[in-house]
Amino acid sequence: MAILITGGAGYIGSHTCIELLNAGYEIICLDNFSNSKSASLNRVAAITGKSFKWYEVDLLDRQGLEKVFIDNEIEAVIHFAGLKAVGESVASPLHYYHNNITGTLILCEMMEKYDVKKLVFSSSATVYGMPDSVPISEDFPMHTTNPYGRTKIMIEEILQDLYVSDISWGICLLRYFNPIGAHESGIIGEDPNGTPNNLMPYITSVASGKRKELQVYGCDYPTADGTGVRDYIHVVDLANGHVKALEKVMSSTGVDAYNLGTGKGNSVLEIIATFEEVTGKRIPYTFAARRPGDVAECYSDPSKAKEELGWVAKRGIKEMCRDAWNWQEKNPDGYKGKDNNNFKNRHLP
């Protein structure tokens, strides 16, 4: 029996594959590589010393997906596959709704057909939109400002309805706060296409000399130093949260949402200062206007995940900065670098 990981080649998926393999699970990955490279899967195998099957399949390809279910005995699914860039979702909403929502519908239909009713879904803190207060707990109202966020809210609602229709489903909705950092080996990490939108990949690109300076979006927020505050979480802690959520869905039925965050907020200036301290690299920056849609403060109350999943984030922002830089320094061109041949370990279905 195996765990199917959709979007397993991506940033969070690849880190989760490692923790699942280390915990003794058999995994099967599926990805269309629209925002990732198969090299990440080869590296997961190299890090863990374990082999696993992977399929180049798009969730929208019903026949291709069905073959995965026919060929394998799948007992649960961790569903990462989706498009995630907020700005792109505003420019191409139909593409986002089709890929994220139709992809999830086809996946759930296939799961139902093959009697696989255990699902862990990648949701996001974006479902809380502009919260009235912090810390944010799971019972806060859901509203969001962009199509990407709406795909997450809609999918959460679809999965709630699915459970109401058939209470033998076990579903966890994991609302991630701000995942950053990389596996401590520096062998896998985040490899965004083009200019990074998010803070940490932008900082590492400045540290490596690819970009001249960081623009800090807003210095007049009602926060201690005027810059935006977020709940940054180490991607390996986040990956471990999936192992705990998987244990939960495998042993129970129901549908539950969990915040995966540290419960602590850090400002942009604190992240810059910590990055400079642990790496010795200087990050030149200038202040720019607020980014439209940004909130002043966003951090979690992660106590429900602690109580019900037995999960807490262990790593702090120093480890997050250190590991993000370790990955960037060892892989200046991400997965496009020449060293991919060191990780030849292809496992075709």
Q: Which residues contact 255 (CB under 8 A, 6 or more apart)?
A: 159, 160, 163, 169, 171, 172, 173
204 lines the binding site for ligand NAD (CB under 6 A)? no
C-alpha neighbours within 13 Å on the C-beta side of residue 181: 26
Concerning whether 202 is annotated as a catalytic residue, the answer is: no
Span of 21-29, 184-192, 243-251, 287-295 interacting with ligand UD1 by CB under 6 A: 287-295
Euclidean distance between CA atoms 213 and 282, whole angstroms: 10
Among 25, 55, 148, 299, which one carries the catalytic annotation?
Answer: 148
257 binds, among ligand NAD, ligand UD1, none (CB under 5 to 8 A by kind): none
Q: How far apart are CA 74 and CA 281, in angstroms?
A: 46
Q: 134-173 mask for ligand NAD (x: CB under 6 A)?
A: ----------------------------------------
Contact between 197 and ligand UD1 (CB under 6 A)?
A: yes
Q: Is the dihedral of CA 300, 121, 194, 315 positive or negative?
A: positive
Minimum CB distance to ligand UD1, residue 84 (Å): 7
When the beta carbons of 97 and 114 are compared against ligand UD1, the nearer one is 97
**What are the beta bridge partners of residue 67?**
none
**Which residue has the closest beta carbon to ligand NAD?**
10
How distant is the alpha carbon of residue 256 from its chain centre?
A: 18
The number of helix segments (H) and strand segments (E) in the chain equals: 12, 14
- x/- binding map, residues 71-90, to ligand NAD, per CB under 6 A? ---------xxxxx------
Which two tokens mark 227? Answer: 């810059």
Residues designated catalytic: 148
Which chain residues interact with ligand NAD by CB under 6 A?
Answer: 7, 9-13, 31-36, 58-60, 80-84, 99, 103, 122, 124, 176, 179
